[in-house]
Amino acid sequence: MRFGPVPVAEAMGAILVHSLDRPALRKGRVLSPADVAALRAAGVTTVTVARLEPGDVGEDEAARRIAALLAGPGLTAAAAFTGRVNFYAARDGLLDLDRERIDALNRLDESVTVATLPPFAPVKAGQMAATVKIIPFSVPVEIISAAELMIGAPPLRVAGWRGCRAGLVQTLLPGLKSSVQEKAVSVTARRLAAVGASLVAERRVPHSADAVAAALAALRDAGCDLLLVIGASAITDRRDVLPAGLAAAGGDILHFGMPVDPGNLLLLGRLGELPVLGLPGCARSPTLNGVDWVLQRLAAGLPVGRAELTAMGVGGLLAEIPDRPQPRAEVAARFPRIAALVLAAGHSRRLGRNKLLEPLDGRPLLTHAVDAALTSQAAAVLVVTGHEAADVRAALGSRPVRLVQAEDHAAGMSASLKAGLAALPPDMDGVLVLLGDMPLVGAPVLDRLIAAWSPAEGRSICVPTHDGHRGNPVLWDRRYVAEMLALEGDAGARALLHAHADAVCEVAMAEDGILLDADTPAALALLAHRVSAAPAPAPGRSAAAPASAAAPAPACPAG
């Protein structure tokens, strides 16, 4: 192809390289005699053109020929225009492509480019899935011939949804609310519908291997071609209840775990020819997670085994993608901003004196909780004062905290809580409510709760536990602040845990400090002994200092 400026008199039949305003001619136009006359009339003496030579294939024909090599079943190619051919999905399904061959084609020559949606992207009928673009105005025929030899079978197709009929098994443990089970059903049904599948049967059984085995067999016999199991407790080992139930039914475990977050604790198995998925806790959330990736492939009839699962790690960090639904989208690209709210306004009536000022290992009791908050990954620390406020403030010294006075602190804990909540910085994503008389709750406990917080994964209220007993502090997503501000009396926000059971994540703690406060002289003496035997705390930090990376969020069931 010849390329460059020529006198207008020699431009007829050539391709105009740049658009012109006077006369109005668009680039890519093959100049006609009338165009040349218009150029002369406008006083144009030279134009930049391209002229094909023998052996050159024009951009549109080149794009058409390349496109013909690529489009497999489920794709429709549009007509070529300006060296481009777009591919559109002819059906709902999953984009299946051979990246190696597409990469090879893009490396063949700079004149030929192919762009696609990501591998295994779900598409709707009529949605653009890929495009071919020829960069110059022509391509040597040798390049087209090399591409034809290279490509072979079309490397692009849309694998349509097969219309799977799925069955769901849920296991039950005492205390698991029916609302949690109903939510799992509705979320699963919507997730399946998105891939052209349907939830046709459900079984709720005790959390035992024998019960799971019987339920799987029943769903198989009922005609289901995809079996899903979600436990009241997350799978933690190949020998756990759900995989043991699959084995007892005569099935096989193909792989446990996947390098996708959320979704790490997924179990892949089969019962005869039927795929079986042991679902992680994030399957109760409608937001994108590893379960979706596996379901999409199964619903499109694509293979899913150990090789496919272990190849999902690159790009498998889904927890922070920016297109999460609200409110997660607002905090997707940054570390969670959680405020620590230390309640220190009480009268200590049972002890008979202000317990927060009692010496404990050489310093006031309250400072243990405050220093833990300052050392943690909390983004801000607020302390609510009330009874003997001046003395409490003096005990805190120059610690970098925001002090909030609860004027009606005598009305009970809810009054102190509401005073602190009203003072929360507007950019906080959540709040950790600490009691000032729990000196054994250290920064690692607070950081573990912050790491567990993930509303997108159904963990918007995080409660610490020890040996099955719930304790303090509790981390609340900001969405619950309005309800907490409506509380009355001395009960705190515990009632809201029952009202929002499906949003609660229990975070197991190794130590019992989350259960121990200083309400009585005996309790205070016990704490004094325990604190004196404990390692010294790390130095505090400014509340404005950046938080370090969070520890991995624990796996835990909702409720």
Other Cβ atoms less than 10 A from the Cβ of 134: the count is 27
Q: Which CATH number characterizes residue 209's domain? A: 3.40.980.10
Distance, CA of 335 to CA of 549 (rounded, Å):
8
Of 135, 160, 185, the domain-final residue: 160
pLDDT at 490: 64
For the cut 90, the answer to whether the pLDDT of residue 233 exceeds it is no
Q: Could you tell me if 86 and 215 lie in one domain? A: no
Residue 470: inside a domain, yes or no?
A: yes
Evaluate whether residue 22 is within a structural domain.
yes
Judgement on whether residues 62 and 108 belong to the same structural domain of the protein: yes
The pLDDT score that the predictor gives to residue 352 is 66
- Going by pLDDT thresholds of 50, 70 and 90, the confidence category of residue 320 is low
Query: Is the residue at 545 inside a domain?
Result: no
Domain match, 300 and 395 both:
no
Please report whether residue 405 resides in a domain: yes
* Confidence (pTM): 0.71
* Region for residue 288 given its phi and psi (left: phi exceeds 0; alpha: psi -120 to 50; beta: otherwise): beta
Is residue 319 one of the residues assigned to a domain? Answer: no
Residues 452 and 370 in one domain: yes
Of 131 and 488, the one with more pLDDT? 131
Q: Is 292 contained in some domain?
A: yes
Rounded to whole angstroms, the Cα distance separating 503 from 557 reads 10
- The answer on 182 and 132 residing in a single domain is no
pLDDT (tens digit per residue) in 23-40 = 888 788 889 898 899 999
Phi, psi torsion values for 257, nearest 5 degrees? 95, 150
| CATH number of 28's domain | 3.90.105.10
Which of 138, 160, 182 terminates a domain? The answer is 160
Mean pLDDT of 413-437: 92
pLDDT of residue 325: 42
Any idea which of 82-91, 121-130, 188-197, 527-536 has the lowest mean pLDDT? 527-536
Q: What is the pLDDT of residues 363-390, one digit of tens each?
A: 999 999 999 999 998 999 999 999 899 9
Same domain, 463 and 346: yes
Contact, 33 vs 12, CB < 8 A?
A: yes
Give the end-to-end CA distance of the chain in Å, rounded to a whole number.
Answer: 69
pLDDT score at 545: 35
* Residue 535, pLDDT score: 63
Q: Is the pLDDT of residue 334 over 60?
A: yes
pLDDT tens digit sequence for 446-459: 988 988 888 877 78
Would residue 111 count as lying in a domain? yes
User: Do 265 and 300 fall within a single domain?
Assistant: yes
Amino acid 16 reads L
Is 224 in the same domain as 297? yes
At residue 550, the pLDDT reads 33
Domain residues for the domain of 492 are 330-533
Same domain, 34 and 111: no
Of the chain, the percentage scoring pLDDT greater than 70 comes to: 91
For residues 397-415, give the mean pLDDT. Answer: 87
Q: What local confidence, expressed as pLDDT, does residue 27 receive?
A: 82
- Condensed to tens digits (0 to 9), the pLDDT of residues 257-304 reads 999 999 999 999 999 999 999 999 889 999 999 999 999 999 999 999
Give the chain's domain count: 4
What Rg value do the Cα atoms of the chain yield, rounded? Answer: 33
Identify whether 321 is part of a domain. no
CATH number of the domain residue 406 falls in:
3.90.550.10
Instruction: Please give the mean pLDDT across all residues of the chain.
Output: 88
Both 254 and 387 in one domain: the answer is no
Predicted pLDDT of residue 419:
93
Outline where 237-320 has alpha helix (H).
241-248, 290-299, 306-310
Residues 401 and 440 in one domain: yes
CATH number at residue 73: 3.90.1170.30
Q: Which of 111, 138, 160 is the last residue of a domain?
A: 160
Pairing of strands 461-466, 469-470: antiparallel
Same domain, 73 and 192: no
Q: Is the pLDDT of residue 307 over 90?
A: yes
